[in-house]
């Protein structure tokens, strides 16, 4: 019985650092992805200011694109970003964060969600 408690304690103590490690990687990935995404957003806003309208695709702001997505996807530092015009004045930029989850920048609110 005492050996079982020691073993369980050892397992719990071993798992905590592993969980912390993976949580920090996830946080770092999200921070890096948003930082890189902000560069893309700034390019879109610069294009809008200079041309008076939103770009049709990432091709318009001179980003290398994934042809499969018709210029609506690009990779920056290993992270794939997507662009969608929602209207003549609003757009979203997003990237996959978890399986089935994404983080999205909405031009309407000027924030990431």
**pLDDT by residue (tens digit) across 54-88?**
999 999 999 988 777 778 999 888 899 999 999 99
Tell me the CA distances in angstroms from 82 to 16, 18, 64, 86, one per residue in order: 35, 32, 12, 13
Distance CA(97)–CA(10), nearest Å, equals 32
**pLDDT by residue (tens digit) across 16-68?**
777 666 666 677 888 999 999 999 999 999 999 999 999 999 999 999 887 77
Tell me what pLDDT residue 25 has: 67
Work out the number of other CB atoms within 10 angstroms of the CB of residue 98.
9
Strand 79-85 versus strand 73-76 pairing type: antiparallel
H helix or E strand, kind and range, residue 4: helix 2-51
Instruction: Note the pTM of the prediction, 2 decimals.
Output: 0.76
């Amino acid at each position: 019985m005492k050996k079982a408690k020691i073993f369980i304690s050892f397992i719990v103590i071993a798992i905590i650092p592993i969980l912390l490690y993976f949580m920090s990687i996830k946080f770092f990935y999200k921070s890096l992805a948003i930082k890189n995404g902000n560069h893309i957003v700034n390019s879109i806003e610069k294009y809008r200011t200079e041309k008076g309208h939103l770009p049709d695709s990432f091709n318009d702001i001179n980003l290398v694109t994934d042809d499969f997505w018709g210029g609506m996807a690009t990779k920056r530092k290993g992270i794939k970003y997507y662009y969608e015009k929602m209207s003549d004045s609003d757009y979203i930029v997003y990237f996959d964060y978890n399986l089935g989850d994404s983080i999205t920048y909405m031009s309407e609110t000027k924030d990431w969600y």
